């Protein structure tokens, strides 16, 4: 049998552990559909009254066949496109990936700033830091899955503060 002081310390540690596990889980959520794992989707908060923003995530394909991210919808955003960025000469060009984004078998694809990303155009409402914005990702083979995008600071390079 534990002494009362030991019970108190144990209860405090147990509570703290549960709290930090919940915080960690909320900050690093992942969504699974079939053999795909979508890691922590996030949106950069638009600056001022801008009606455009970009969103990012990492998608792992743990399966043995390729899949394609073909469509993304985000609540209160009329136009959502998958874009790639590449240098043409000394100019950075951004183009829509109209046929979708290939997620190769056994590989990870990272959508991150200054590379491939999700472009939100015509945003209908302001996003607040920390807000969870509802969306859907549709894959050619795995199908549709609901996702929540966390809104982070406008200049963020990653979804989590270090």
The 10s digit of each residue's pLDDT in 47-84 is 888 999 999 999 999 999 999 999 999 999 999 999 99
Contact 57, 39 (CB under 8 A): yes
pLDDT the model gives residue 150 = 96
Domain range 32-152, CATH class:
mainly beta
Supply angle C-alpha 50, 51, 57, rounded to 5.
105
Instruction: Give the Cα separation of 125 and 77 in Å (integer).
Output: 9
Determine if the pTM surpasses 0.85.
no
| pLDDT exceeds cutoff 70 at 154 | yes
């Amino acid at each position: 049998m534990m002494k009362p002081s030991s019970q108190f310390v144990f209860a405090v540690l147990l509570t703290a552990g549960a709290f930090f596990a919940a915080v960690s889980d909320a900050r690093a959520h992942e969504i699974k559909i079939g053999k795909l794992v979508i890691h922590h989707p996030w949106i950069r908060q638009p600056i001022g009254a801008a009606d455009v923003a970009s969103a990012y995530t990492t998608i792992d394909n743990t399966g043995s066949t390729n899949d394609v991210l073909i469509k993304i919808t985000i609540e209160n955003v009329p136009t959502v496109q998958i874009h790639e960025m590449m240098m043409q000469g000394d100019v950075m060009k951004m183009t829509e990936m109209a046929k979708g984004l290939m997620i190769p078998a056994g590989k990870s694809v990272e959508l991150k700033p200054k590379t491939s990303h999700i472009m939100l155009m015509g945003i209908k409402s302001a996003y607040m830091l920390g807000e969870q914005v509802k969306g859907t990702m549709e894959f050619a083979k795995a199908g549709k899955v609901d996702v929540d995008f966390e809104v982070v600071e406008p200049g963020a390079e990653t979804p989590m503060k270090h």
